[in-house]
């Protein structure tokens, strides 16, 4: 039986593949998946910047789709996995959808160093834990996973130049 950390790493690698697909489709290289209480992938989402602009983040798109498809009581047992730490908008979307856990590979702070002042990704230095801690409902957070940073960064190479 794999440990929680081994499971997390496997699902995070899947988000890296979704992010690569987003980039191949002309969007920003971000991806997320929703995993149910039974460990099965229920939904996945790519970044949608070309069609949705700034709010087209993979995690917000996923949270919106999850909230339409599943009851909050079910989502409380689900986990949103994402390659890069959710921004405050995405953390808020996961919170309001009722998703019970969020797992991310690389911090938003590290992403900000990578993207700099790129006008399509003006990151905020606001950790998702801070957003979740401001809520009345507990959201479990796991991340970052430093062993995946190089893999995640590779998917961003040359994109923000």
Residue 118's pLDDT is what? 87
Of residues 6, 14, 46, 59, which has the active-site annotation?
59
Residues β-bridged to residue 104: 82
Q: Are 131 and 95 in contact (CB under 8 A)?
A: yes
Residue 81's pLDDT is what? 98
Mean predicted confidence (pLDDT) in 102-109: 95
Task: List the single range of 50-59, 87-96, 120-129, 144-153 with lowest mean pLDDT.
Answer: 120-129
Residue 53's pLDDT is what? 86
For the cut 90, the answer to whether the pLDDT of residue 144 exceeds it is yes
Residue 45's pLDDT is what? 98
Q: Are 65 and 45 in contact (CB under 8 A)?
A: yes
Told to judge if 120 belongs to the known catalytic residues of this protein, a careful annotator would answer: no
> In Å, how far are 7, 9, 25 from 90, measured between CA atoms?
22, 21, 21
């Amino acid at each position: 039986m794999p440990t929680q950390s081994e499971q997390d790493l496997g699902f995070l690698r899947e988000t890296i593949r979704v992010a690569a697909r987003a980039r191949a489709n002309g969007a920003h290289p971000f991806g997320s998946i929703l995993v149910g209480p039974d460990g099965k992938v229920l939904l996945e989402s790519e970044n949608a910047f070309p069609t949705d602009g700034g709010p087209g983040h993979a995690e917000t798109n996923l949270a919106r789709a999850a909230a339409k498809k599943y009851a909050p009581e079910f989502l409380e047992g689900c986990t949103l996995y994402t390659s890069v730490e959710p921004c405050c908008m995405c953390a808020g979307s996961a919170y309001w959808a009722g998703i019970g856990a969020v797992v991310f590979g690389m911090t938003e702070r590290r992403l900000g160093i990578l993207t700099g002042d790129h006008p399509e990704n003006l990151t905020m230095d606001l950790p998702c834990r801070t957003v979740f801690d401001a809520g009345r409902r507990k959201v479990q957070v796991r991340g970052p996973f430093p062993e995946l940073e190089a893999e995640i960064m590779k998917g961003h190479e040359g994109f923000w130049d």
